[in-house]
Amino acid sequence: MSGFRLADGGRIDRRTKRTFSFDGKAQWGYAGDSLASALLAQGQMLFGRSFKYHRPRGILGAGVEEPNALVTVDRGPGRMTPNLRAPSVPVHDGLTATSQNRFPSLKTDLIAVNNVFSAFFPAGFYNKTFMWPRAAWEKVYEPIIRRLAGLGDSPTTRDPDHYDATYAHCETLIVGAGPAGIAAALDAAAGGGRVFLIDEQEEIGGGALSDPAQWAWLAEATAKLAAMDNVTVLSRTTAIGHYHQNFVVAAERLTDHLPVGEAHGPREKLWRIRAGEVVLAMGAIERPLVFEGNDVPGVMLASAARTFALRYGVAVGRKIVVMAVHDSGWRDALALQAAGVPITAIVDLRRDIDPALADAARDARIACYPGYAITSVSGSLAVKGATIALAGVGKGQKLDCDAVLMAGGWTPTVHLWSHAKGSLRWDESWGAFLPDKTHENLRCVGACAGAWDFGSGLSVGLLPAPKPLHESKAFVDFQNDVKARDIGLAVQEGFRSIEHIKRYTTNGMATDQGKTSNLNGLQIASDVLSRPVTEIGLTTFRPPYTPQSFGAMLGHHKEALFQPLRKSGIDDWAQAHGAVYENVAQWRRARFFPQGSEDMDAAVARECRMVRSSVGVFDASTLGKIEVVGPDAAEFLNRMYTNPWKSLEPGRCRYGLLLGEHGFIIDDGVSARLAPDRFHLTTTTGGAARVLGMMEDYLQTEWSDLDVWLTSTTEQWAVIAVQGPRARDVIAPLVEGIDLSPEAFPHMAVREGTICGVETRLFRVSFTGELGFEVNVPAEHGRKVWEAIWAEGEKHGAAAYGTETMHVLRAEKGFIIVGQDTDGTVTPDDAGLGWAVGKKKPDFVGKRSLARPDIVAPGRKQLVGLLTDDAQDVLEEGAQIVADPNQPVPMTMIGHVTSSYYSTTLGRSIAMALVAGGRDRMGETLYIPMPGKTISAKVLAPMFYDAEGSRLNG
Amino acid sequence: MLLIHCPYCEEARPEVEFVYGGEAHIARPLDPSTYSDGEWEEFLYIRSNPRGRHHERWRHTHGCGRFFNAVRDTVTDVFETTYKAGEARK
Ligand SMILES: [Zn+2]
């Protein structure tokens, strides 16, 4: 119980109390307090347990750099946020916060026993354990580690909040509203351009909030900015990343600072800001020092103690020792002493102290120990004392204290500068990297530019100590529990680059991205390697600057707005008739139409029976469609597709096969020539946009001399497939102006006329093997025409069928689905479609590749049919195929099952497969090893039904 | 997000309106059958992948739909220029 509320001072409102709970216990603070300041004022020093060793931990910093005091805030079901930093959580009435990673309670953590066995988690622990036997990892180590190590729990219920998102444009964006940022904003605003000033804290002011001498200026500047129409000031807004061309993404927290009952509207708002100029005024973060016991609760940054005292009116101890290697520690000590925070001693590794500081400390009756270092801290749950020694190795001397402040120098906050690929230069006097060059219109001002007077100091990282490094328990990365000796071990095991040392030790890889640990880790690696810091390098900072909710990143793009859902004009009818849907390339398609208690198998069996015995109706509107028009249309298609097109008569259709230049099938579809200069192309449902893009590419960049126009008409036409022996009888009463007789309208022909009084392009085509028509009508008439066809169909017992039945029927005929029976490595010949390749054509896209050595080599995987020896075994699509089931594991896999169904028509299962040398294996038995059994199957041609095609004519 | 200047629309538009189209100035041979296997492999698969100035194709898919060429620095992602398809390499 060492922290306490000072009698006066701070920016808190002492007339307004706030009540909240921490770990279930009622607590209070003032309006303006952070969770950290309110609890420190109550004497709470213990805030959490560490990641791996469950060591007791207190507050280190007063801002977002805080690595230890991570809390979970519970705002009701689905509103539980873990890993919030206590210094950045404003208190409000009803705030419910709990500490993390402790069991059963903060003070008596049973797992902290683990601390004794800390050798269990040396550097590279994860890498090394991954080398252990897999069974041991899965059954023993991983469960143990999961229980021992970790941060807060992830929420398990749906986030009920919504999140706003917006774009903004401005001439100048300033990130960070401390004195330097505010000055930059005033300067830019005077020019009249649009200015954004954003800051992550509850109020703007940055470092000035902890300096009462600047408060009058701050109030004046804040009022001035607020009065300017061209200035937008956003507090509680974190710039999480800088992206190309001054595109800054920032998250504004709108309601988390309010009591739950007062929080209305979106929880956060994501700003995407494009700025002419970006000014980074992000300040600097003080570095801890690395010494034995530097993680005992009560050991914190000197600048944090200053902020707690001067901004929040809280003293962090009653007998405080400062461990400094930098003038700023002396300045903070003096400011604290003046504010009534009792500083008893300043220990500084430097022998020569600025006389002005030394004199001021003596005048303030602070004991000074120049040339000394702290060698250990006593206390477990709180600081009880510190031992110091001359140069860290002399005779130990005990100092009575309840808090230790560390002043290890300053690290400019260059995160966003690095996001922007700005280069950094090492600055010896700062002992840190400073911004150097950038290609963006971006500059740094104030402390993050190295333009701030914190005084001077050493950059040492590890303090000299009597113990050898490998026995040291001095921590570098508090959040990931990385010790100085872990870095020593990594170097000893051969790691040289900081990128490797970082990953091996996990230094700087926690949620704080090493804000307080990176440079100390680097310095220690440099010392151990006896190489300059600049040769070891700095790890790369990446967005987000601080952890960011997924909700804000998602914004409105969830549920129905996650991605577009495309529906055909007939979709409503399907819904009304009980369709079960599947999504295909953003389209919602009816998969099957169950009747009564039918499951999918029963429904599909019935739908298949009806198509084969009478007639079925299918919504094929999602097929991609492209209108190809112009004098060179036939020439163009001739170059794009493998098939010959110039010879196709108007009124006829052709199955088109499209390859990439690599020679592999990428799309297919039946297309019709309506006139010498006009084609109606169809593509696969998923391939429509891709095919149009590819055709545009050739037309615009390779064959710009061709006079051809391409228009996507996918959504302009509704397509109703009527398939089955009764198909002609169903449409005949509805069609006008088209002679439907087989002689006048043969298979693979197209006719224009009307149906139900609506213009139609009527195709006589079949993807089922039955007599079939595809009725194209303008999309807005689709539902009406569908209903008319359905009414006629019902007279013949028609079934509406979905994509599942379509798949079964086409598989019975061995028709491929591009993307299911092909995978981007299948040539026309592999797929048994060599007949579709125009042998006499001099060229088409992909033709040259069909003569490449690998493409003509024997043994390629070829599409074959498979019939399982047990007719009721339905193979699993994707299952691997072997020739010899008795070979040892790993077996030689010679192919895989691409399509597999139960065929009601045939009363047995059927499958298609890609098998190496497949067409030379006709009649062979192959094997499909599955869990528990091996299925045998015979190879045959992929044609299971009506091989002679007699049914096409009804 | 990049801002890309479409030489047809004559406007800088956000990257989400565009689709990348690979390296530029790789013309399809007029008669691929005259290409040896090695030359065809080169045409199909071998790209310059430079560090620095890269000539590349973009398509203003959600805009005018046109393909055009650009010079982009692969280190900084800064666009030096964009120009219409068919214009000489810059
Ligand atoms: Zn354009």
Q: Is the pLDDT of residue A104 over 80?
A: no
Nearest Cβ partner for B28 among A662, A696, A702: A702
Nearest chain A residue to B4 by CA distance is A245
Distance A687 CA to ligand 1 centre (A): 23
Q: Are strands A665-675 and A653-659 parallel, antiparallel or unpaired?
A: antiparallel
Nearest chain A residue to B87 by CA distance is: A701
Q: To the nearest whole number, what is the mean pLDDT of chain A?
A: 94
Q: Which of A57, A88, A120 is the last residue of a domain?
A: A120
Per-residue pLDDT band at A509 (split at 50, 70, 90): confident
Beta bridge partners of A442: A278
- Report, as an integer, the average pLDDT of A216-236: 98
pLDDT at A105: 72
pLDDT at A128 over 70: no
> Which residue of B37, B41, B62 to mutate against A (max A Cβ within 10 Å)?
B37
CA B72 to ligand 1 centroid distance, Å: 18
Cβ pair A831, A825 in contact under 8 A: no
Shared-domain flag, residues A106 and A180: no
**A710 contacts in chain B (CB < 8 Å):** none
Average pLDDT over residues A762-790: 98
The C-alpha torsion from A149 through A154 and A156 to A160, rounded to 10°, is 170
Which chain A residue has the Cα nearest residue B38?
A: A852
> Pick from A67, A100, A120: which residue ends a domain?
A120
Q: What is the pLDDT of residues A159-193, one digit of tens each?
A: 999 999 999 999 999 999 999 999 999 999 999 99
- DSSP label at A90? B
Q: Residue A67: pLDDT above 70?
A: yes
CA distances from residue A99 to A70, A258, A314, A678 in whole angstroms, order as listed: 7, 20, 21, 71
Residue among B8, B25, B19 at smallest CA distance from B71: B25
Which segments of chain B have a pLDDT < 50?
none
> Residue A337, SS3?
helix
- The pLDDT of residue A126 is 59
CA torsion B11→B15→B21→B24, rounded to 10°?
Answer: 50
Distances (CA, A) of A677 to A26, A217, A494, A635, A654: 82, 77, 71, 10, 16
- Which residue of B2, B35, B37 is in closest CB contact with A245? B2
Ligand 1 centre to CA of B64 (Å) is 4
From chain A, pick out residues whose CB is under 8 angstroms from the CB of B3: 244-245, 274
* Through-space distance between the first and last CA atoms of chain B, rounded to whole angstroms: 24
pLDDT above 90 as % of chain A: 88
Quote the minimal CA–CA distance from A340 to chain B in Å.
50
Give the C-alpha separation, A691 to A670, whole Å: 14
B57 interaction partners in chain A (CB closer than 8 Å): 701
Chain A residue numbers touching B43 (CB-CB < 8 A): 661
- What is the b/e burial string over A233-272, where b = at least 16 CB atoms within 10 angstroms of the residue's CB? bbbbbbbbbbbbbbbbbbbbbbbbeeebeebeebbbbbbb
Q: Domain boundary residue among A67, A99, A120? A: A120
Report which secondary-structure segment, H or E, holds A302: helix A302-310
Any CB–CB contact under 8 A between B37 and chain A? yes
Of A244, A843, A849, the CB nearest to B31: A843
Identify the helix (H) or strand (E) that includes residue A727: helix A727-731
**Across the interface, do A245 and B3 touch by the CB < 8 Å criterion?**
yes
Res. A153: pLDDT tops 90: no
A261 pLDDT more than 80: yes
- A818 to A162, A668, A706, A754, A823: CA distances (angstroms): 40, 7, 28, 32, 8
Same domain, A173 and A262: yes
- The owner of tokens 């020539």 is A673
Least Cα distance to A347 among A295, A391, A309 occurs for: A391
Q: Establish if A345 belongs to a structural domain.
A: no
Instruction: Give the type of residue at A695.
Output: M
Q: For residue A587, tell me if it sits in a domain.
A: no
A786 to chain B, minimum CA–CA distance in Å? Answer: 33
Same domain, A115 and A211: no
Task: Give residues whose Cβ lies within 5 Å of ion ligand 1.
Answer: B 6, 8-9, 60, 63-64
Do A203 and A98 belong together in one domain? no
Write down the pLDDT at residue A565: 94
Quickly list DSSP for A619-681: E-TTSEEEEEESTTHHHHHHHHBSS--TTPPTTBEEEEEEE-TTS-EEEEEEEEEEETTEEEE
Residue A765 bridge partners (DSSP): none
Instruction: Give buried/exposed letters for A720-742 (b at 16+ CB in 10 A, else e).
Output: bbbbbbbbbbbbeebbeebebee
Is residue A521 classed exposed, middle or buried when 0-12, 13-18 and 19+ CB atoms within 10 A define those classes?
buried
Domain assignment of residue A66, yes or no:
yes
- Pull the structure tokens for residue A277: 């100029």
Written in H, E and C, the secondary structure of A696-720 is HHHHHHHCCCCCCEEEECCCCEEEE
**CB of A545 closer than 8 Å to CB of A239:** yes
- Residue A752 in any domain: the answer is no
Mutate to test the interface with A, among B1, B15, B18, B34 (most CBs of A within 10 A): B1
DSSP state of A290: B
What sign does the CA torsion over A431, A433, A437, A440 have?
negative
pLDDT number for residue A617: 98
Q: Are strands A268-280 and A164-175 parallel, antiparallel or unpaired?
A: parallel
A439 contacts chain B (CB < 8 A): yes
Instruction: Please give the average per-residue pLDDT across A678-697, as a whole number.
Output: 97
3-state secondary structure B37-52: HHHHHHHHHCCCCCCC
Residue A119 pLDDT class (50, 70, 90 cuts) = low
Largest CA distance in chain A: 115
Per-residue pLDDT, A136: 63
Give B88 to chain A, closest Cα distance, Å.
13
Q: Which residue of A has its CA nearest to B27?
A: A702
Say whether pLDDT at A127 is over 70: no
Q: What is the arithmetic mean of pLDDT over A866-880?
A: 98
In this prediction, the answer to ipTM > 0.95 reads: yes
d(CA A554, CA A242): 18
3-state SS class at A606: helix
Question: Using the 8-state DSSP alphabet, how is residue A543 labeled?
Answer: S
Measure CB to CB from residue B33 to each of A704, A843, A852 and give the nearest one: A843
For chain B, how long is the longest CA-to-CA vector? 42
How many CB contacts within 8 angstroms connect chain A with chain B?
Answer: 58
B19 touches chain A (CB under 8 A): yes
Query: Is the minimum CB–CB distance between A421 and chain B shorter than 8 Å?
Result: yes
pLDDT of residue A101: 74
pTM reported for the whole predicted model = 0.90
Contact A848 B77 (CB under 8 A): no
% pLDDT > 70, chain A: 95
- A830 pLDDT band, cuts 50/70/90, is very high
So what's the pLDDT on residue A602? 98
Closest CA to A100 of A35, A51, A36: A51
Q: pLDDT band at A782, cuts 50/70/90?
A: very high
Distance between CA A748 and CA A763 in Å, rounded? 7
Range of A70's domain? Answer: 4-120
Do A75 and A188 lie in a common domain? no
B51 touches chain A (CB under 8 A): no
Please say whether the beta carbons of A563 and A580 come within 8 A.
no
pLDDT digits 0-9 by tens, A616-645: 999 999 999 999 999 999 999 999 999 999
Q: Do the beta carbons of residue A619 and residue A805 sit within 8 Å?
A: no
Q: Are the beta carbons of A848 and B28 separated by less than 8 Å? A: no
When scoring B23, B31, B56, B76 by the number of chain A Cβ atoms within 10 A, the one with the most, hence best to mutate, is: B76
**A421 with B78: Cβ contact below 8 A:** no
Number of domains in chain A: 3
**Which runs of E-coded beta strand occur in A112-222?**
164-175, 195-198
Burial class (CB in 10 A: 0-12, 13-18, 19+), A112: middle
pLDDT of residue A142: 61
pLDDT value for A215: 98
Note whether residue A171 is domain-resident.
Answer: yes
Assess contact for A900 and A845: CB atoms under 8 A: no
Nearest by CB: A244 against B2, B33, B61: B2
Q: Please state, in angstroms and rounded to a whole number, the distance separating the CA atoms of residues A507 and A525.
A: 11
By the 10 Å C-beta count (0-12 exposed, 13-18 middle, 19+ buried), B16 is classed as exposed
Q: Which residues, 6 or more positions from A534, have their beta carbon under 8 angstroms from its beta carbon?
A: A426
* Residue A557 sits at the chain B interface (C-beta within 8 Å): no
Q: Do both A273 and A169 map to the same domain? A: yes
Q: Which alpha helices (DSSP H) does A782-887 contain, by range?
A: 782-794, 803-812, 853-856
Query: In this structure, are strands A933-940 and A925-930 parallel, antiparallel, or unpaired?
Result: antiparallel
A110 and A197 housed in the same domain = no
Query: Which residues from chain B sit within 8 angstroms of residue A700, using beta carbons?
Result: 66-67, 85
Q: Is B59 near chain A, with CB under 8 Å?
A: yes
- Note the pLDDT of residue A676: 98
Interface of A with B in 660-679 (CB under 8 A): 661-662
Mean pLDDT, range A851-879, rounded to an integer: 97
Cβ–Cβ gap B3/A244 under 8 Å: yes
Q: Is the distance from CB of A454 to CB of A328 less than 8 angstroms?
A: yes
Place of tokens 């007949």: A835
How far lies A186's CA from each of A276, A280, B61, in Å?
16, 14, 41
Check whether residue A80 and residue A187 sit in a common domain.
no
Is the domain of A57 the same as that of A112? yes
CA distance A694 to A88: 52
Q: Does B35 touch chain A (CB under 8 A)?
A: yes
What is the tens place of the pLDDT at every residue in A882-916?
Answer: 999 999 999 999 999 999 999 999 999 999 999 99
Q: How far apart are CA A636 and CA A639, in angstroms?
A: 5
Q: How far is A421 from chain B (nearest CA, A)?
A: 7
A451 part of a folded domain: no
In eight-state DSSP terms, residue A560 is: G
- A679 lies in a domain? no
- Residue A496 — very low, low, confident or very high, per pLDDT cuts 50/70/90? confident
Taking the Cβ of residue A872 and every Cβ of chain B, the question of whether any pair is shorter than 8 Å is answered with no
- In this structure, the answer to whether residues A115 and A168 fall within a common structural domain is no
CATH number for the domain including A879?
A: 2.40.30.110
Q: How confident is the model at residue A54 (pLDDT cuts 50, 70, 90)?
A: confident
Q: Are A686 and A667 in contact (CB under 8 A)?
A: no
Chain B interface mutation, best of A695, A701, A702, highest count of B Cβ atoms under 10 Å: A701
**Helices A484-492 and A498-505, packing angle to 10 deg:** 120
Mutation site for B-interface testing, chosen from A273, A711, A841, A848 by largest number of B Cβ within 10 Å: A848
Band of residue A2 on the pLDDT scale cut at 50, 70, 90: confident
* Cis previous bond, A544, omega within 30: yes
Shortest CA distance from A273: residue in chain B: B1
Contact A704/B86, CB-based, under 8 Å? yes
Judge if A18 and A80 occupy the same domain.
Answer: yes
Residue A864 sits in the same domain as residue A934? yes
Q: CATH number, domain at A258?
A: 3.50.50.60
Mean pLDDT of A390-395: 92
B36 at the A interface (CB within 8 A)?
A: no
Are A244 and B77 a contacting pair, CB within 8 Å? yes
Domains and CATH numbers, chain B: 3-29+41-84 (3.30.2270.10)
Q: How far is the CA of A628 from the centre of ligand 1 (A)?
A: 22
Match 């055009």 to its residue by tokens. B68
* pLDDT tens, residue by residue, A453-482: 999 999 888 999 998 888 889 999 999 899
| Residue A220 located in a structural domain | yes
Nearest to B32 among A274, A704, A847 (CB): A847
Q: Is the pLDDT of residue A698 over 90?
A: yes
What's the pLDDT tens digit per position in A318-333? 999 999 999 999 999 9
The predicted model gives A646-660 an average pLDDT of 97
Q: How far apart are CA A390 and CA A410, in angstroms?
A: 24
**pLDDT tens for residues A332-377?**
999 999 999 999 999 999 999 999 999 999 999 999 999 999 999 9
For residue A80, give the CATH number of its domain: 3.10.20.440
**Which SS3 state, helix, strand or coil, does residue A849 take?**
helix
Residues 6+ apart with CB under 8 A from A813: A768, A769, A943, A944, A945, A946
